[in-house]
Amino acid sequence: MRGAPATSVSVVKLVFLARLREAFGASHERFAIDAPTTVGAIRASLYARGGPWAAELAPGRAVRIAVNHELARDDAPVSPGDEVAFFPPVTGG
């Protein structure tokens, strides 16, 4: 059927910037979600990967998260097709 999803799993695009990009060894990835979720839930599942993920995303580490280019809190909703970016506190200017 045209327009039907190719699979039952939907994805969001994760973006990693600056120190986090270097620590994770990736600037972006496709991340599967099986239902609408939240910023905090995605952070928790990345943290559970261990290694640099656990080190950089530990509770209390200052990490900024943006959904579709807007800064978002942990309880912000994330839907299929969204772009969710993780980065350190900004240091421009």
- The contacts of residue 40 (CB under 8 Å, 6+ apart) are 74, 75
> What whole-number distance in Å separates Cα of residue 58 and Cα of residue 3?
39
Smallest gap from residue 67 Cβ to other proteins (A): 10
Considering only residues 31, 66, 76, 80, which one is a binding residue for other proteins as defined by CB under 8 A? 66
Q: Which amino acid is at 58?
A: A
DSSP code string of 73-88: -TT-EE-TT-EEEEEP
Task: Tell me whether residue 47 or residue 87 sits nearer to other proteins (CB atom).
Answer: 87
Considering only residues 18, 32, 48, 54, which one is a binding residue for other proteins as defined by CB under 8 A? 18
Applying CB under 8 A, does 88 fall inside the site for other proteins? yes
Applying CB under 8 A, does 54 fall inside the site for other proteins? no
Considering only residues 71, 73, 77, 79, which one is a binding residue for other proteins as defined by CB under 8 A? 71
> What whole-number distance in Å separates Cα of residue 84 and Cα of residue 26?
14
Asked if residue 38 lies in contact with residue 76, where contact means CB atoms within 8 angstroms, the answer is yes
Interaction site with other proteins (CB under 8 A): 15, 17-19, 62, 66, 69-71, 85, 87-93
